[in-house]
Each structure stands twice: as C-alpha cells, then as structure tokens.
C-alpha cells in the first residue's frame, strides 16, 4: 500500500534540511555501524544459568526466522536490553535481524508477508525502509528498532520509528472510544490493553525523536491512548486490569497478561515523558495501583493466576514477569514508592523456577485475551510462542540490575 509521507510533512515543521536522508529508502547496512564500545561480551554475572541458556536458545534461531511481529520483536528487545549492558553478541544478532528485514520484507508479496506471523491480516505499508503491517502486534517493531537507534544512531532506524507512529496516527483503525484498533477487521468486536501499549509507546518514542509541533502531536496521541486505556481497562473498584472490552462492554474477567499490558503501556510513556509534564504523576499513580493489585493477588508460588482474582486458575509466569519488570523499573527510577520489593523478589523466584536447565519456559499461558474471557484457563504451555522467552528476558534484565 502506497501512502503519503506524513513523517516528512511533520518533520518539515522543525528539522529543515536534515530531512533528505530520512525521506529516502536506504539500505540499513550502509549506516548501521554500532557506535558503542564493549569491554566484554558476557551476560551479567547475576543472571542465573537457566536464563542464560534461554538467551542462548533465542540466538540459536537464524535471525532471518525471527519475524517483526510481537513474537519476534520482544525477543530482539530482550537481547538489546543486555546489549546496552555490554552484551555485544545480542547487538550483532539484532543488527542482522533488522538489516535483513529492511532488505527482504519489501520484496515479499502480501501472501508471503502474511505467512511470517500468527495473527489477523491487515494493510501492509511499503513505502518506508521497513515494510510492515498495521495489525497492532506488528507495530511493536518500533520498540527494538528504537533500542538499536539508541545504540548506533542509525538514520534508517529513526525513520522506521517515525513511520510506525505515523501509521498509528494516520492509517490504523480506531474503536468507538478512539483507541487503536487491534486489526483492520475486529475493532468493533473487542478492545484489549495490548493495543494501548503499542500505541502509547510508539508515539512516545516518535515524540523523543522530533521537536516542536511534530513532537507535540506524538505526545498528544501517546497520552490520549494511555488515558483511554486506563479509563476503560483499569477497574478502580477491583484494583486490577480487565481482560478488555467485548462488544463495547467491560470484560467479566481479569487476565494475567492484561495487568502486564497496561503497566507496560504506562512505563512505555514514563520512560520518555519529561517528569515535569502534567500527566506524568497521573500515569505513575495508576502504575502504583496496578502494583498494589498484583501484590494483593500474587499467588503462593509468586505468579499471577491466569484469571487474576480466581485462585483456582493456574499460576502463570508471563503476566507476573511483565508486571515486575515495570514495577522494578518504576521503583528504580522513582516513579513509584520503593515498597514492592517483596512482590518483585517473589515474582522473580517464580520466573527462575519456571525456566528449566535447558532454558525452556513452563507455566506460560499460550492463549490470549479472547480465550481468557471465555475462561479457558488451562491453555498452559500448549505451543511455543516467541513472546514467552522475550518477556522473560525483559524481566531478567530489570531484576538483575
């Protein structure tokens, strides 16, 4: 699908002649030269051996096989979390992954592209350096690409981040509450908290990469998407996050990963938003409430139950991993009070116990929001999904700092 270049339109307001390298298609390999120097290639010493093995397993897959959907991008972001701490092997893998998709994906037919990921079809955008689809879980490609940009200042990576935010602003659908549509076809049937994460963080990233009026547009969208997500997904009475909205009505369940999605949306704003911004304290206050809910409902082993307030459902690892990754970061950066160490430490122990010596993750719910709302709580470890080790890596990075 060809589209007008809104990145150029907005950036012209503030960046003048520096636009020219951003507005042409480029080969990422031409400008993708890491600017970081590494003292060593090892993972942090505090990382347990089973988690190190998990990371090794991720890198055993050929980078070409790792897609730009959520299953792939969260694994790449996990590697880059450790790359920022000196793990050069993670940076090399992520660099190869990015260069490959920039070079290859534009050559794929629509049918070939759709075969790369497990999810609904949507419109494919092809006029930037990276071809991507606007099914919401694919919009998370901006997150590892931004981490790459922070390491090497690649013009191509910067352009991709802005393209994703522009896709959300100008091309993606909305539900009747103005929230980012899950995909092109199901936006009237349900809305779920993961879309708040994709929309909020992607626009916050673009805001940090621009200035003036352009940045204001991205900040406005990021804050709007998060505020709507909090309004419709966070149940103030229960103190936990709903699974979503179904046919415009609040879900009857509270799914484990919904807690993670909304708190990741919040940290996905606070990580970039100036602390002096009027919305900062409001968002941080909701992060604290989600942390309170997680502490209240944390299972005896340290996880969150698949259905958070139903202790007959299994304890699950990915939802808790998402929560403690944000809570620990929030305490470390002063966004929330330093009072959740017990929650985080108990959750971290559950994570470590859920990864075996071969690096395989157990206790992972491999269904999604719709199956959770249907109370199919037993869909544990049914099939491998790449997001599972990715989430574990993000939590492991934060818990070993």
Domain residue ranges in the chain: 6-399
Query: Distances from the Cα of 38 to the Cαs of 8, 28, 90, 228, 398, in angstroms?
Result: 35, 22, 12, 42, 20
- Bridge partners of residue 240, in order along the sequence: 235
Query: Distances from the Cα of 346 to the Cαs of 147, 299, 301, in angstroms?
Result: 29, 10, 8
What is residue 10's predicted lDDT score, i.e. its pLDDT?
38
Phi and psi at 366, nearest 5°, equal -105, 10
Q: Which two tokens stand for residue 243?
A: 């699974």
CA atoms within 13 A on the CB side of 117: 26
CA 324/CA 395 separation, integer angstroms: 7
Per the CB < 8 A criterion, the answer to whether 87 and 30 are in contact is no
Give exposure, 132-153, as e/b (b: 16+ Cβ within 10 Å).
Answer: bbbbbbbbbbbbbbbbbbbbee
Per the CB < 8 A criterion, the answer to whether 214 and 14 are in contact is yes
CA 393/CA 371 separation, integer angstroms: 25
What is residue 187's predicted lDDT score, i.e. its pLDDT?
83
pLDDT in tens, the chain (401 residues): 434 343 443 333 333 322 333 334 444 444 554 555 555 568 999 999 999 999 999 999 999 999 999 999 999 999 999 999 999 999 999 999 999 999 999 999 999 999 999 999 999 999 999 999 999 999 999 999 999 999 999 999 999 999 999 999 999 999 999 999 999 998 889 999 999 999 999 999 999 999 999 999 999 999 999 999 999 999 999 999 999 999 999 999 999 999 999 999 999 999 999 999 999 999 999 999 999 999 999 999 999 999 999 999 999 999 999 999 999 999 999 999 999 999 999 999 999 999 999 999 999 999 999 999 999 999 999 988 999 999 999 999 999 99
Look up the pTM and report it.
0.91
CA atoms within 13 A on the CB side of 341: 4
Longest dimension (CA), the chain: 61
Residue 197's CB is within 10 A of a number of other CB atoms, namely: 31
Query: Distances from the Cα of 83 to the Cαs of 37, 151, 159, 328, in angstroms?
Result: 11, 9, 22, 19
CATH class of 6-399: mainly alpha
Burial class (CB in 10 A: 0-12, 13-18, 19+), 218: buried
Residue 332's CB is within 10 A of a number of other CB atoms, namely: 12
Nearest Cα neighbor of 158 from 5, 268, 21, 16 is 21
């Amino acid at each position: 699908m060809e589209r007008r270049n809104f990145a150029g339109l907005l950036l012209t307001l503030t960046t003048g002649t520096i636009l020219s390298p951003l507005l042409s298609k480029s080969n990422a390999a031409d400008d993708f030269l890491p600017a970081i120097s590494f003292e060593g290639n090892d993972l942090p010493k505090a990382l347990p051996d089973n988690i190190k093995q998990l990371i090794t397993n991720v890198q055993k897959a050929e980078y070409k096989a790792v897609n730009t959907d959520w299953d792939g991008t969260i694994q790449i972001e996990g590697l880059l979390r450790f790359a920022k701490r000196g793990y050069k092997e993670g940076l090399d893998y992520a660099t190869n992954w990015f260069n490959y998709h920039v070079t290859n994906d534009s050559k794929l037919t629509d049918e070939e592209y759709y075969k790369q990921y497990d999810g609904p079809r949507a419109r494919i955008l092809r006029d930037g350096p990276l071809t991507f689809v606007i099914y919401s879980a694919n919009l998370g490609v901006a997150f590892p690409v931004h981490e790459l940009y922070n390491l090497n200042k690649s013009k191509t990576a910067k352009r991709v981040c802005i393209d994703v935010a522009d896709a959300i602003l100008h091309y993606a659908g909305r539900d009747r509450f103005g929230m980012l549509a899950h995909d092109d076809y199901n936006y009237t049937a349900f809305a779920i908290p993961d879309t708040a994460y994709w929309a909020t963080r992607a626009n916050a990233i673009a805001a940090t990469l621009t200035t003036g009026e352009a940045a204001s547009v991205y900040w406005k969208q990021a804050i709007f998407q998060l505020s709507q997500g909090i309004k419709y997904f966070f149940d103030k009475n229960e103190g936990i996050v709903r699974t979503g909205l179904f046919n415009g009505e609040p879900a009857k369940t509270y799914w484990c990963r919904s807690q993670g999605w909304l708190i990741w949306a919040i940290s996905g704003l606070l990580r970039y938003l100036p602390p002096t911004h009027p919305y900062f304290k409001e968002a941080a206050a909701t992060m604290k409430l989600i942390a309170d809910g997680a502490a209240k409902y944390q299972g005896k082993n340290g996880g969150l139950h698949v259905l958070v307030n139903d202790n007959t459902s299994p304890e699950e690892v990915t939802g808790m991993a998402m929560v403690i990754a944000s809570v620990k970061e929030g305490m470390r950066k002063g966004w929330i009070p330093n009072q959740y160490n017990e929650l985080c430490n108990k959750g971290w122990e559950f994570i470590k116990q859920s990864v075996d010596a071969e690096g395989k993750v157990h206790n992972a719910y491999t269904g999604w929001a719709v199956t959770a709302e249907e109370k199919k709580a037993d869909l544990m470890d049914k099939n491998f999904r790449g997001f599972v080790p990715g989430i574990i890596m993000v939590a492991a990075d934060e818990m070993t700092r």
